[in-house]
Amino acid sequence: MENITLNVQGMSCGHCVNSIEGNVGELDGVESVKVHLEDGKVDVTFNSEKVNVKEITEVIEEQGYDVA
């Protein structure tokens, strides 16, 4: 398992948290995802043989957030 912390801009409320945690969590290979709203950060633990950072980033960006 690998661990990354993404800086995500545009998250403002519980809906954003649920939306990101829900959609990223659905990706095959994602073990866990935790949004830290106040910090603008998203921690993701994933299996790099199944999913990569680019795919995770794209799912977040598709929902209208910016990944720094």
One residue of 9, 15, 28, 38 binding Cu ion per CB under 5 A:
15
Closest CA to 44 of 29, 61, 64: 29
Compute the least distance from the CB of residue 15 to Cu ion, in Å: 4
In three-state secondary structure terms, 61 is helix
Measured CA to CA, the distance from residue 36 to residue 20 in angstroms comes to 11
Candidates 5-13, 23-31, 32-40, 41-49; binding stretch for Cu ion (CB under 5 A): 5-13
Residue 16, interface with Cu ion (CB under 5 A)? yes
The amino acid occupying position 35 is V
Task: Summarize as ranges the residues that interact with Cu ion (CB under 5 A).
Answer: 12-13, 15-16
